[in-house]
Amino acid sequence: NPGFEAAPSATGLPGGGWWKSEGRGRLVVETDRTVAHAGSASVKLHADEPTKAVLVSQRFAVSPGDHLPFAVWVRSAAPAAGSSAYAGLAFRDAEGKVIGRAYFSSQPLTGEWARISGSAIAPAEAGSAEVHLGYTNAPAAIWYDDVLVTITNELSFALLQGPKSWPGRQDLQVRVINRQTKPFRGTLNCVIDKQVHPVPVLLEPGTTRELAVPISVTGLGAHSFALALLEPTGRVLGEQRGKFRTANA
């Protein structure tokens, strides 16, 4: 619901999975059908006392290294001289912990619509992202509208399930996404303690596949691994590295 056109949820928050995170004070959130940058609605944030909070979107899947341009439109009623707003993205790992933020500030607010924009790269271990629309401007009201986030890289891959903590034969689970308009043919290479385990990859245009990468772990103790997505020419399109330990069952 990036334009806030959908009906509000039962709690009064914008439909589509939006929720609020309050660090201080009480943020009031409303879908406003009298103010809009485009379409017929926007979201209005306001508070009666000093407040620090963000309106948070539903999470969406990302892969480490994904390129994400971001933009949103903002305006304020009776802004204080020099006041601004901020918005952007937060990234979470597989357990749901926030591991990084990319926030962007507006120009000084004038009462007219202004665009906040920037670009972020999903950090290592990122599994999902969410939009954050910030508020620190009590008692003034702020409206946001027309949120836009895209993933612009044509190929993504993510390690969904890494090495286990025991030696022997096991599988890594990897997700590969092809956003191209042509098929992708390449190789997933997993190197465990200098042993190479290659798996061919074939994806039709605009498809996603989850692949099992068979590996063999020898011995107990500390190990390292490197997982790389390669073109047929051998050019590396993306890489993830990590360490793990094995022990007796």
First to last CA, the chain: 48
Q: Provide, rounded to the nearest whole percent, the portion of the chain with pLDDT above 90.
A: 84
Q: How confident is the model at residue 110 (pLDDT cuts 50, 70, 90)?
A: confident
- Per-residue pLDDT, averaged over 209-223, amounts to 92
Out of 35-44, 75-84, 171-180, 212-221, least confident range: 75-84
Tens-place pLDDT, residues 52-64 = 999 999 999 999 9
Question: What CA–CA distance (Å, rounded) separates 9 from 26?
Answer: 19
pLDDT beyond 80 at 135: yes
Picking from 13, 16, 5, 86, the residue whose alpha carbon sits closest to that of residue 53 is 86
pLDDT beyond 80 at 79: no
What pLDDT, on the 0 to 100 scale, is given for residue 82? 59
What pLDDT, on the 0 to 100 scale, is given for residue 34? 96
- Per-residue pLDDT, averaged over 173-180, amounts to 95
Token output for 104? 């962007």
**What are the distances in angstroms from CA 211 to CA 11, 83, 157, 198?**
40, 49, 10, 12
What residue type is 159 in one-letter code? L
What pLDDT, on the 0 to 100 scale, is given for residue 149? 98
- Per-residue pLDDT, averaged over 146-167, amounts to 94
| pTM assigned to the model | 0.89
pLDDT beyond 60 at 81: no
Out of 21-35, 67-81, 147-161, 190-204, least confident range: 67-81
What pLDDT, on the 0 to 100 scale, is given for residue 55? 98
Question: What CA–CA distance (Å, rounded) separates 105 from 134?
Answer: 10
